Structure 1
């Protein structure tokens, strides 16, 4: 059976998701930070549970901005169909999660290949931070003076990974993301000769785990290990405050090589599927 998660389910939800920690970071961090969908935050996530014999077998979530996330290893096709029917009236912008599970969810939602701007399985990496060597690079959080620079970087980043079109709505979204990241506080800039030359961020954090995201080096400054350096410095900073493990997805071979040079180990995959425009499910009548 499927039902909406209630506040009393939070402990059991986290215990279930923690058994799939590397692929549950978005769900866990969203629930920890914003509850079960009742806040107005764009990442507030409405969560549904599929249970069998009183035990959680699958968890599905949809953020206010339309990101749909699942953790449903071994769940029957019926579970995916039941969730698709529940969210059928609501727009979906992104589907993400473990590859086979998200393929089953996309099928249940009735979304064909042509609906997606990007639909790829990215290699998933994990690192025990105890393995990190020392780092002498300088990083800092961004300030208001960096807003224009960050907006340009986020725009280029979205175009580079094919998550956004090169149009004015994408530029506006990049400006909004830059403003948000300046206040959020987890983004870091690598400083070289007094100027920012690369950035990295944590897009999820739970307990002693972080998930890296938004690693970017401007095109004119690439091929000088700056991406690896900003990640290294941010992870050492995180380690100093008690973080023990990091995970990430690599969206291109060059990035994968840089992460492997830091000691990240390839442990699986994670699907990121971005729709060309928000769509509702096309479930059978």
Structure 2
């Protein structure tokens, strides 16, 4: 695989967009932070070529997150790219992440190591359920409560250690505010549920960070929040959506508004960066 330089980007991006539902993170990170940028989420990218066509892409963020798009399944060549590096996470379709982890010999204690059902939706088929509440941007609600929700989400869903969760939550909420990526379902001033997009490339969005506090679960607030946010995205031009579900309950929520399963998605997050 060859390190991608700016003149290669149109071809590489076209390859990723052709499989966008499986490659939302590398596409969104590239669009937002730029190739070889200074942010922790900025990707360096390697690509394999046959003639003038890209056959595989491997993105590695400055912070050490590996994002594979390897349909040719050349695990050895991708593992060679990682050799000598320090890897904090490997995230992507399960049928690409698991073989790459094995080929690269990535072994280490994890905070999260989970395969989740992967879903997609044509937004023309979106079903927005009736229910209480209106959707509001984060800047218009109680940010203290939002931070507490994000902290609880990090501990419950991502396996973040409690002593790190508060700092991570504050950093995440700052990023959500900057990106305008998250919304809260609110009824008469009461916050009911939070939803967001963890990747957005214009015509495709990826849902993430959905959270309802335990005392409000089972009332379909998250279902309505997600659907309203997707309807908002559809109104400004998005045509498809993707997500991965952390639990059977979450999967049922998404199926109820029209999502269908397309595979599995893996999140492998290491406690400490792993040397390859």
Separation (CA, whole Å) in 1 of partners of 2:92 and 2:127: 31
TM-score of the superposed pair, with normalisation by structure 1? 0.90
> Could you say which residue in structure 2 is the equivalent of 1:68?
66
Matches of 2:178 and 2:51 in 1, distance apart?
Answer: 44
Q: 1:242 to 1:226 in 2, by over 3 A?
A: same
Counterpart mapping for 1:73-222 below 5 A:
73-85=71-83, 88-89=84-85, 91-112=86-107, 114-134=108-128, 137-143=133-139, 146-167=142-163, 169-222=164-217
Aligned residues: 274
The 1:280–1:147 alpha-carbon spacing in structure 2 relative to 1, beyond 3 Å, is farther
SS in 2 for 1:227: helix
CA contact (8 A) 2:11 2:53 kept: no
Once superposed, what is the RMSD of the aligned Cα atoms? 1.7
TM-score by length of 2: 0.93
Give the C-alpha shift of residue 125 in structure 1. Answer: 0.6
Measure the CA separation in 2 of the matches of 1:203 and 1:188: 12
* 1:112-167 residue CA offsets vs partner (Å, 9 max, x unmatched): 2x522221111111111111245664111112763321221111101111431122
Aligned to 1:264: 259
**Aligned twin of 2:56:** 58
Shift of 1:76: 2.1
Determine the C-alpha separation between the residues in 1 that align with 2:127 and 2:111: 38
Give the corresponding residue for 1:9.
Answer: 8
The residue number in structure 1 matching 2:273 is 278
Aligned to 2:246, the other structure's residue is in SS state coil
Unaligned runs of 5+ in 1: none
Question: What secondary structure does 2:178 align onto?
Answer: helix
Distance in 2 separating the partners of 1:257 and 1:134: 15
